[in-house]
Structure 1
Amino acid sequence: MKHYEVAIIGGGLAGCSAALHIAKRGVSVVLFERGRCGAQASGVNFGGVRQQGRHPAELPLARRSRGLWDQLPELVGSNCEFVPTGHLKLARTDAEMAELEAYRNMARDFGLELELVGKKRLHEMYPYLGDNLAGGSLCREDGQANPRLVAPAFSRAARRAGADIREMSPVAAATHTGQYFEIKVRDEVVSAAKLINVAGAWGAKVAAWFGDEVEEGVIAPNMCVTEPLPLFMGPNLGVCGGSIYLRQIPHGSVIFGAGMAIADPEKIRARPLAEVTQEGARLAIEMVPRLANALLVRTWTGIEGSIADGIPVFGPSLNVRNLFHAFGFTGHGFQLGPGAGAVLCELALDGETRTAIDGLSIERFQKVASSVGRH
């Protein structure tokens, strides 16, 4: 039986980042991904690198992660098309503007600076926006990246650093012997002193193997992309309530998302819905009228884990020592991925992290499971 210091279940961005950070410290680590690294939520999302609008419990992790986005060339050998275009969150009413102001005041406590933009100045700065807006909040630090590139880049960098990255390797089961973890993959069993669960929409299933019970749903954000258009859009666009979000990529296409498609986590299949796409296109045109004649060239979706309170389960297990969870990112885990991996590395190797994650603990859902016991 081959033994590692750390085993990771899940090859999304957070898992691949964790593998890279652990391997760079000279510690043996194996990562199991049942498909290809980054093929699920990490590779099919909107691509927004956004801090603005996050729950306060997520902001310390988002701030930690934002610094790593600037370091991608040094970390993984590519910037993965990361550009700090800014993120503009729009309000349609005075009440929503008041919400943006309150959020700005709260975000300052985390070192995040947001700039409120009134209605008149909004249309002076961004004349392509529709007339039904009361103002917005601009985060100049935020931006965008290509989600199809990032997790695979971290995976390759982790392998170069010495990590054992095993794609097409579904984990059938994992147990704790009282001394170490045993992970069954196909006809092989490997052991590890520590285990990181970053299994995405299947994270709760892995957690339940160890008595950590959390209800995790599934979402499938409906995404669309247009033909290339002349460059005109500045920051990424969102709106209070999250009903529509848009960004223009460097070669001109506009990517937008709105509403939910359908997904089957058992069959590992998801598909967009025509009626959701049509409504998304209507909302996109309402926000940016010049999109009315743009040709829509593709729609897609993917399977993402969702937690009822909208923030992930992140941190140590309550029931089993040396087990760490990071799942249920509820459609906004892409920006967090690099930082999530760095923090998971610290938790696994140091037993602590300098990033405040207490508000994301699994403890908010459960008590210690007496039937499992804390090993």
Structure 2
Amino acid sequence: MDVIVLGGGLMGTASTYFLAQHGARVTLIERNRIGTGATVASFGNIRRTGRHLSQLPLAHRSLRLWSDAEKMLGRDVELRATGHIRLIFDEDSLADMRAYAEAALPWGLELAELSRREIRARFPGLGPDAVAASFSPHDGSGNPRLIAPAFAEAARRLGAEIVEATEVETIRHTGSSFLVASSKGAFAAECLLNTAGAWGARIAAQFGEAVPLDARGPQMGVTEPLPHQILPVVGIWTRNKDHGAYLRQVERGNIVFGGAAERVAVNLDPGHASADPMRLPLQLRAVARLLPAIAQATVIRTWSGCEGYVRDMLPIMGRSATTPGLFHAFGFSGHGFQLGPGVGDAMAELIMTDRCETPLDDFRVDRFGRAA
């Protein structure tokens, strides 16, 4: 079977790799360079905590693949299973965490509740005002700059064609195949997989499928190196978006942080997102609540990226409802990094075998109706 994949982020490259593993002849087309869109802007969080329950089977599938990533891809993608802690500062948030933990348990996610004393003993320096925390020991982080290129290189070794710096001009469906005209020539295949991220809704609309998606950019930053504290990935349980910060410390000592800043609207033409320096003080105050030591550190870089946010914050994933041979996997709403390998594996299974062991019904494209 021939498959064209549109979009060279983590979802597209992982799908290309697993399709090639299944024996498909795959061509991936990327408008810029591999992994330079939403993937490279990612925080690198490999977490299952706090996900919509219907995403947990996909998240579990993906975690198994992350664990095998270095052996599978032949490259260290800096997977670090340091655990994921979410700090709690008030009773309402503690109730929210306990309710989520109870609801998630039948879905296979076990969260430990840590007391104030346990936080101090195990993670000194974190959240001195926290009253409790959740802890998921098997989660962690990976390097967003390495993972998509690693999947692309591994896919090439399996025979996939990776076409970069290529603008898609038109897409036509002839009934039996898809014809893609591009700045680097024409491509044809029986199947088309739309992994175009924030641009994915535009492609779906060409086939009569409406997706309410907004392009937005997160605000990310990194500090100078600090003394290493062997921190897990750190987040917070809160209903207040101004407090919703997160951070992790890399092995060199730098603190990567994000959250607590409104995501800015991004124009898809050209799709460049920039961090807003005016939002940094509020963001750093929220991060310092989790790790006071960051207040003394120098921020050495900030960045953003173009992400696609669907109205209900769930991705679009699965078969087209209008066009045989068309498949979608986009709109991961700022929380797709952990899911990436599982998305690729699941989409390859669906395309090549017409079934998928992971339930995808909640992510179907036609849940919003059809385009005008």
The TM-score, its normalising length taken from structure 2, stands at 0.95
The whole-number CA distance in structure 1 between the counterparts of 2:128 and 2:365 is: 43
2:112 is aligned with 1:146? no
On the 8 A contact 1:18/1:342 being kept in 2, the answer is yes
User: Aligned with 2:54: secondary structure?
Assistant: coil
How far off is 1:278 after superposition?
A: 1.6
2:274 is aligned with 1:277? no
On the 8 A contact 1:32/1:167 being kept in 2, the answer is yes
User: Aligned with 1:271: secondary structure?
Assistant: coil
User: Aligned with 1:58: secondary structure?
Assistant: helix
The whole-number CA distance in structure 2 between the counterparts of 1:215 and 1:125 is: 43
The whole-number CA distance in structure 2 between the counterparts of 1:90 and 1:357 is: 31
The equivalent of 2:79 in structure 1 is: 82
The equivalent of 1:208 in structure 2 is: 205
User: Aligned with 1:256: secondary structure?
Assistant: strand
Q: Higher mean Cα deviation, 90-99 or 323-332?
A: 90-99
The equivalent of 1:246 in structure 2 is: 247
The whole-number CA distance in structure 1 between the counterparts of 2:184 and 2:22 is: 30
On the 8 A contact 1:34/1:167 being kept in 2, the answer is yes
The equivalent of 2:102 in structure 1 is: 105
2:232 is aligned with 1:235? yes
Q: Higher mean Cα deviation, 275-284 or 340-349?
A: 275-284
Over aligned residues, Cα RMSD in angstroms? Answer: 1.4
How far off is 1:120 after superposition?
A: 2.8
Q: Unaligned 5+ residue runs, structure 2?
A: none
Counterpart of 1:175 in structure 2: which amino acid?
R
Q: Unaligned 5+ residue runs, structure 1?
A: none
How far off is 1:26 after superposition?
A: 2.1
2:71 is aligned with 1:63? no
Q: Higher mean Cα deviation, 178-187 or 65-74?
A: 178-187
The whole-number CA distance in structure 2 between the counterparts of 1:153 and 1:366 is: 37
On the 8 A contact 1:175/1:209 being kept in 2, the answer is no
How far off is 1:255 after superposition?
A: 0.4
The equivalent of 1:6 in structure 2 is: 3
The equivalent of 1:293 in structure 2 is: 296
User: Aligned with 1:238: secondary structure?
Assistant: strand
How far off is 1:272 after superposition?
A: 0.4
The whole-number CA distance in structure 2 between the counterparts of 1:180 and 1:261 is: 38
Q: Higher mean Cα deviation, 258-267 or 281-290?
A: 258-267
Counterpart of 1:306 in structure 2: which amino acid?
Y
2:340 is aligned with 1:333? no
The equivalent of 2:43 in structure 1 is: 46
The superposition leaves residues 179-219 of structure 1 with CA deviations (integer Å, 9 ceiling, x where unpaired) of 11111112622211011000000000011111111111012
On the 8 A contact 2:315/2:332 being kept in 1, the answer is yes
How far off is 1:174 after superposition?
A: 1.0
The whole-number CA distance in structure 2 between the counterparts of 1:289 and 1:87 is: 18
The superposition leaves residues 36-80 of structure 1 with CA deviations (integer Å, 9 ceiling, x where unpaired) of 110011112101111111001211111110000011122211230
The equivalent of 1:176 in structure 2 is: 173
How far off is 1:119 after superposition?
A: 2.4
User: Aligned with 2:248: secondary structure?
Assistant: strand
On the 8 A contact 1:233/1:247 being kept in 2, the answer is no
Counterpart of 1:361 in structure 2: which amino acid?
R
How far off is 1:25 after superposition?
A: 2.1
After TM superposition, list the pairs within 5 Å mapping 1:300-311 onto structure 2.
300-311=303-314
The whole-number CA distance in structure 2 between the counterparts of 1:170 and 1:337 is: 24
On the 8 A contact 1:228/1:252 being kept in 2, the answer is yes
How far off is 1:291 after superposition?
A: 1.4
On the 8 A contact 2:215/2:265 being kept in 1, the answer is no
- Identical pairs, percent: 38
2:31 is aligned with 1:30? no
The whole-number CA distance in structure 1 between the counterparts of 2:271 and 2:365 is: 25
The whole-number CA distance in structure 2 between the counterparts of 1:187 and 1:338 is: 28
The whole-number CA distance in structure 1 between the counterparts of 2:52 and 2:247 is: 21
The whole-number CA distance in structure 2 between the counterparts of 1:187 and 1:335 is: 32
How far off is 1:129 after superposition?
A: 2.0
The superposition leaves residues 298-346 of structure 1 with CA deviations (integer Å, 9 ceiling, x where unpaired) of 0001000000111111111110111111111110111111110011101
The whole-number CA distance in structure 2 between the counterparts of 1:133 and 1:298 is: 28
The superposition leaves residues 268-292 of structure 1 with CA deviations (integer Å, 9 ceiling, x where unpaired) of 2111011212211111112211111
The whole-number CA distance in structure 2 between the counterparts of 1:63 and 1:117 is: 23
The equivalent of 2:93 in structure 1 is: 96
The whole-number CA distance in structure 2 between the counterparts of 1:146 and 1:307 is: 25
The equivalent of 1:360 in structure 2 is: 363
On the 8 A contact 2:179/2:188 being kept in 1, the answer is yes
Match of 2:348 among 332, 345, 354: 345
How far off is 1:95 after superposition?
A: 1.4
Aligned residues: 366
How far off is 1:261 after superposition?
A: 4.1
Counterpart of 2:253 in structure 1: which amino acid?
G
Counterpart of 2:3 in structure 1: which amino acid?
V
The whole-number CA distance in structure 2 between the counterparts of 1:342 and 1:334 is: 14
Counterpart of 2:80 in structure 1: which amino acid?
V
Q: Higher mean Cα deviation, 107-116 or 36-45?
A: 107-116
The TM-score, its normalising length taken from structure 1, stands at 0.94
